[in-house]
Structure 1
């Protein structure tokens, strides 16, 4: 059972996400709260996954994320946002968020995405824009993505691509016929060579380096 906490200042969003996720047999929403209640509720409920609004009037989502990341056993945190061009998204990814979801994510996809988060996968909305990617990769002193990826072996590039597609270590192992320990070692090597601290940051580099096919426009037939 995947335990989920929904944090949003809008009651309608909290209720909607709760109904969608509770309908799944293997997901339980342990609470749905506002930002000011988030850290205390995480300590009390110990959720596996937190869906955290990036902008809230009572407390900034990035502040809550930082506090959660300082916990002894922090949950996996994915940020919720209304716009795929939110200027806070890149900051959230750099701060350790496991990804971000638009609030209008297809309800049928939401349980799948939560399961992926719980299993250690990377979750990025299919509408992540070039602005978001550039917001992370455009930092002063950061090497071009292609040059970073060139440091990897062929197998490590394959692991990076699968990470960027959202696969957890177990699924990467199945796809590549490798043990969980071997995959874990490759993931650590990839993060080290790319100079990043999270799978999501690695996924952004993979996208910029052209390892992923660009997502189809939802309006394109």
Structure 2
């Protein structure tokens, strides 16, 4: 019994560290997207010429923004999966140690506050502001780069040789296609992280089924 408790407590510590690492990774990708956009848009203006049109310079941050955007939300699904398991683990630890009659664990208590059905579906969705704000930030950065690139290209269309136009035009189209793919993929994940199959509650239910642990 004591050994089982020790294993559960050790696993809880490992999972807490894993969550910390994943969230730190998310912050890194988030910061990288914002910083690189500012640097590339700011410093890139010094390299604008007939051979290197402004449109391509303003598209360059998307090389970093789009992968960071997708990876950020992919990491988020791992976080919710771990938190779902962590909630079940908290109950197992409590049942084996019985530290206090009213103690239910941090993640379990947070779930009750965050997902109170009385608040309504919209309020529950808004309680996940971390995902929402992050999604809008990445989306705004991508939209900014696409908009500036299009405006500068069509504003200076007459200045560019035909060869340059033939390079820039497909690049802009490709950037739009990739951005829409990232938009759709991350929108899907952002919704399901809050209310769907990647949410904390859904993963908790799945882990309870797998581990055969009933709700308290």
Question: When the two structures are superposed, what TM-score results if normalisation uses the length of structure 2?
Answer: 0.23
- Answer 1 or 2: which has greater strand percent: 1
- Answer 1 or 2: which has greater helix percent: 2
Structure label with greater radius of gyration: 2
Question: When the two structures are superposed, what TM-score results if normalisation uses the length of structure 1?
Answer: 0.23
